[in-house]
Amino acid sequence: MLATLTEDRFSDPDWIFERKLDGVRCLARRDRRGRVQLHSRNDKDMSGTYPEIAEALSAAVGSAGTDLVVDGEVVAFEGRRTSFERLQGRLGLTDPDEARATGIAVFYYVFDILHLDGHDVRRLPNLTRKRVLRDALTFDDPLRYVTHRRTAGEEAFRAACERGDEGVIAKRSAAPYTGGRSKDWLKFKCVRDQELVVGGWTNPRGSRSGFGALLVGYYDSDTLVYAGKVGTGFDGRLLHAVKDELDRLAADDSPFGRGRVTGKDVHWVRPELVAQIAFTEWTRDGRLRHPRFQGLRTDKAARDVVREQR
DNA sequence: TTCCGACAGTGGGGTCGCAAT
DNA sequence: ATTGCGACCCCACTATCGGAA
Q: Which CATH number goes with the domain that contains A115?
A: 3.30.470.30
**What tens-digit pLDDT sequence spans chain A (310 residues)?**
888 888 888 888 999 999 999 999 999 999 988 889 998 887 888 998 999 999 999 888 765 568 999 999 999 998 888 899 899 888 878 888 888 888 899 999 999 999 999 999 999 999 999 999 999 999 999 999 999 999 888 899 999 988 888 899 999 999 999 878 888 999 999 988 999 999 999 999 888 999 999 999 999 999 999 999 999 999 999 999 999 999 999 998 899 987 777 666 899 999 999 999 999 999 988 999 999 999 998 888 999 999 986 6
Nearest nucleotide to A291 (CA to C1') is B12
**Is A125 within the bounds of a domain?**
yes
**Structural domain includes residue A101:** yes
- What pLDDT, on the 0 to 100 scale, is given for residue A243? 95
Bridge partners (DSSP) listed for residue A227: none
The CATH code of the domain that includes A10 is 3.30.1490.70
Nucleotides of B under 7 A from a protein CB: 5-7, 9-17
**Strand B reaches within 7 A of the A88 CB:** yes
Q: Are A140 and A208 members of one domain?
A: no
The residue from A127, A160, A190 where one domain ends is A190
Check whether residue A105 and residue A137 sit in a common domain: yes
Residue A310 lies in a domain: no
Q: What is the pLDDT of residue A110?
A: 96
Please check whether residues A134 and A160 belong to one and the same domain: no
The DSSP call for residue A94 is -
A276 inside domain: yes
CA at A209, C1' at C17: how many angstroms apart?
22
Question: A66 with A78, same domain?
Answer: yes
Minimum CA–C1' distance nucleotide for A95:
B16
Would the Cβ of A164 be found within 7 angstroms of any atom in strand B?
A: no
Range of the domain at A220: 193-304
Closest residue by C-alpha to C1' distance, nucleotide C15: A235
Q: Does the C-beta of A204 come within 7 A of strand B?
A: yes
Q: How far apart are CA A111 and CA A120, in angstroms?
A: 16
Nearest residue to A171 via CA among A182, A156, A157, A158: A182
Give yes or no for a contact between A305 and A218, defined as CB atoms under 8 angstroms apart.
yes
The amino acid at A276: Q
pLDDT in tens, A17-30: 999 999 999 999 99
A61 lies in some domain: yes
Domain count, chain A: 3
pLDDT number for residue A298: 83
Strand B close to A179 by CB, under 7 A: no
Residues A103 and A135 in one domain: yes
**Cα distance between the two ends of chain A:** 32
Local structure of A255: helix, strand or coil: coil
Cα–Cα distance for residue pair A8/A186, rounded to 1 Å: 9
Indicate if CB(A40) is under 7 A from strand C. Answer: yes
Does any domain span residue A309?
A: no
Residue A278 contacts residue A189 (beta carbons within 8 Å): no
pLDDT tens digits, residue range A200-226? 999 998 889 999 999 999 999 999 999
A238: CATH: 2.40.50.140
Same domain, A28 and A89: yes
